[in-house]
Structure 1
Amino acid sequence: MLNGEKLIQRPLRWGMIGGGRTGQVGYKHRTGALRDNTAYQLVCGAFDLDAERGRDFGQNLGVPSERLYDDYKALIAAEAQREDGVEVLSIATPNFTHFEITKACLEAGIHVICEKPLFFTVAECEEVAKLAQEKGLIVGVTYGFTGHPLVHQMAAMVKKGLLGEIRIVDMQYSHGFNAGDDTDAGEAVKWRTNPLTAGPTFVLGDIGTHLYYLSEVVMPELKIEKLLCDRKAFIPSRAPLEDHATVLMHYNNGARGRLWVSSVNAGNMGSQRYRFVGSKASIEWSDAHPDQLIYEVQGEPNQVLHHGMPYLEEESLAVDRMGALHTEGLGDSWANIYLWIAQAIDAKQRGDEAFLATHHYPGIEAGTEGVRWLENCVRSADAGAAWVDFE
């Protein structure tokens, strides 16, 4: 069980690019990073395109005024001159800026934690992966839902063979907050539905990549061989990007998968659901009830497994924070993600490659595979929802 004790020698000097007062994800990053004051210390930031608003916001967070910057370029240049300069920066900006800012950070010797989808293309991911390797730096990706303890319970059960051979994978992430048109939409919606700023997808990249990465965590041995993607913009102004999509997948063991994402599921307040069906049993988990895992063994009564209980696998108990009596939430999941990335950065700084070889965290490889999945989805959809070999 995690209880906030230090797992690295000292907190990392951490800053943020983006994630200011009007952003949708900045607080999630700060909640994750600062949940354990033994992992990160917020020392600087360029929080907003509006520099004055960003400085005011940073001061209200308690960041020293001399370490609040107009933009990321000024931040990197100034922090590089300090003996106590920033060590890791979180990038919580629109998609089209990720590649440029990540490269600038790495070239300055700064580790990166970046929002997803990581970049627009696999080629960009591979370029950054090469640069990070040359510089000896870590790139983490905030797939923030996979820090939930019961996600790792599912992974352990699959690994132990408790489900038998996986046959069916069924995943959903939907909400209704974009069911209306974008006439009065805020900037956070507008950039997500513009190909120039969002990239080649809307909901597939914004929420679908969470589903895809979580499935990789639960069943890492299964690989997609081919997929079919059908996507649609129910609000015409969002085309060619989609606000609804269905993806069918064939896996290398013969399993079949279905994934659907939507931001026009009118009336739905937002939910993820995962069901993994094997030859012996099935498991089902939803972030709406993150403390419960449904376990159904063929021919036996259904079971509801609860987080934090001693009958769970060690992989789940090791990342539990609240204990069985109290419900774990999204903040706890993000805190685990940030802690795992901090441990990776600490190991990289110490040259502990043996630790990194077995340490789990969402890194550049996870970000790359998410972009690869998106490229294949777009290729299929653009071909008229055709089956395509996964490349």
Structure 2
Amino acid sequence: MLNGEKKIKRPLRWAMVGGGRLSQVGYKHRTGALRDNTAFQLVAGAFDIDPIRGKDFGMNIGVAEERCYPDYQTMFLEESRRDDGIEVVTIATPNGTHYEICKAALEADLHVICEKPLFFTSEEVLEIKSLAEEKGKIVGVTYGYSGNQMLLQMRAMIEKGAIGDIRIVELQYTHGFSSTEEADRFSDAQRWRVDPKIAGPSFVLGDLSTHTHYMSQLIMPHMKIKKLLCDRQSFISSRAPLEDNAYVLMHYENGAVGRMWTSSVNAGCMNGHRIRIVGSKASLEWWDSKSSELLYEIQGQPAQTLIRAMPYLDESCLADERLGALHVEGLSDAWANVYLKFAVAIDAKNRGDDKTLNQLVYPDIHAGLEGVPWVEHCVRSADQGGVWIDYQEVPEK
């Protein structure tokens, strides 16, 4: 169980690029990183494309005025001249800026935590992976939902054969908050998400389904996609060619089949984030809206609901527990779990502790390497008219 005690010798000096006053994700990053005040200390930032607004915001959250910078280039340069300069930076900016900022951060000898999808192309991910290895730095990807510890329970049960051979994978991440065109006009954070120049080749496939795809890989690390078919729609026509709804069918190498439904136009839906894994003996189902519960259904027996923090759960699941079974955890705790693992990974990398790194389950550069081709393959299938295409994993150099 986690109780805020030190996992590393001292907090890492941390900065943010983006994540300012108008950001939809900045506060999630800060609550995650600072939940365990022994892991990170926010000391600097280039929080906004508007430097005056960014400085005002940074000072209002306790960052010293002289360390609220107008842009990331200035921050990396000035912080490199300080004895107490930053060691790690979070990139919480629109998709189209991730690659250039991540590369600049690594060249400044900083560890990196980056929003998803990591980049636009697999080639960019491989380049950054190579640079990170050359610099001896960690690149983490903020798949924040993956910090829900019941996902580790699913992983452990599948590894132990509790559901038998996997046959069906049912994935869903949907909501209804973009059901009208007004959402694009009145929200800065929404507007860039439907601009191909900034968001890249997809909207909900990159913004939503990459989370769920990574979570499925976390739960089933040995399951590999053989081929897929993607059908995507732009129900709000002004978003075309970017989709606001998509269905993806998958065939896995072991003979299992899968489906992903991702949508921002599921009108009336507040939170449709769901994972169901069907095996030859039993099924497991997790819903984000009931993140403390895991449904376990054995064929021919009464359904069981496993509850977070209970002693019958696997040790890997219990290790991320914070509040106890009586109290409800949520997204902030999931992000805190992910950020704490980023800190442990950075500390281990700095010390050359490969054993800890190899045992740690968290969204690293390999997770980014999986997420980018997922979007690429989906877009390619959809743009060819919704056809089956072979799924080629990116060869790691």
Q: Common fold, TM-score beyond 0.5? A: yes
1:202-250 CA-partner distances (Å, limit 9, x unpaired)? 0000000011000000001100000000001000110000000000000
1:108-163 CA-partner distances (Å, limit 9, x unpaired)? 00000000000000000000000000000000000000111111111110010100
In structure 1, the residue matched to 2:90 is: 90
In structure 2, the residue matched to 1:388 is: 389
In structure 1, the residue matched to 2:19 is: 19
Mean alpha-carbon deviation: is it higher for 312-321 or for 131-140?
A: 312-321
Shift of 1:185: 2.8
Q: Distance in 2 between matches of 1:278 and 1:14?
A: 43
1:151-208 CA-partner distances (Å, limit 9, x unpaired)? 1111110010100000000011111111001463311111000110000000000000
Shift of 1:352: 1.1
1:268-288 CA-partner distances (Å, limit 9, x unpaired)? 112201100000000101010
Q: Distance in 1 between matches of 2:309 and 2:359?
A: 24
Mean alpha-carbon deviation: is it higher for 181-190 or for 166-175?
A: 181-190
Q: Distance in 2 between matches of 1:265 and 1:279?
A: 31
The aligned amino acid for 1:369 is: E
Q: Secondary structure at the match of 2:70?
A: coil
In structure 2, the residue matched to 1:126 is: 126
**Is it true that 1:357 corresponds to 2:348 in the alignment?**
no
Q: Secondary structure at the match of 1:385?
A: coil
**Is it true that 1:207 corresponds to 2:213 in the alignment?**
no
Q: Secondary structure at the match of 1:3?
A: coil
In structure 2, the residue matched to 1:36 is: 36
The aligned amino acid for 1:351 is: G
Q: Secondary structure at the match of 1:274?
A: strand
The aligned amino acid for 2:156 is: A
Alpha carbons 2:169, 2:256 under 8 Å: kept: yes
CA RMSD of aligned residues (A): 0.7
In structure 1, the residue matched to 2:395 is: none
**Is it true that 1:189 corresponds to 2:190 in the alignment?**
yes
In structure 2, the residue matched to 1:233 is: 234
Shift of 1:353: 1.7
Count of aligned pairs = 391
The aligned amino acid for 1:37 is: N
Q: Secondary structure at the match of 2:185?
A: coil
The aligned amino acid for 1:203 is: V
Q: Distance in 1 between matches of 2:34 and 2:333?
A: 11
Q: Distance in 2 between matches of 1:358 and 1:37?
A: 24
Shift of 1:322: 1.0
Mean alpha-carbon deviation: is it higher for 178-187 or for 365-374?
A: 178-187
Alpha carbons 2:185, 2:191 under 8 Å: kept: no
The aligned amino acid for 1:59 is: M
Shift of 1:11: 0.3
Structure 1, unmatched stretches of 5+, are none
Q: Distance in 1 between matches of 2:172 and 2:361?
A: 24
Q: Distance in 2 between matches of 1:184 and 1:279?
A: 48
In structure 2, the residue matched to 1:171 is: 171
Q: TM-score, normalised by structure 1?
A: 0.99
Q: Distance in 2 between matches of 1:324 and 1:122?
A: 41
Q: Secondary structure at the match of 1:231?
A: strand
In structure 1, the residue matched to 2:73 is: 73
The aligned amino acid for 1:121 is: T
- In the TM superposition, 1:1-391 aligns within 5 A as 1-182=1-182, 184-391=185-392
The aligned amino acid for 2:273 is: Q
Structure 2, unmatched stretches of 5+, are 393-397
Q: Percent identity?
A: 61
Q: Provide runs of 4+ in structure 1 moved above 2 Å.
A: 182-185
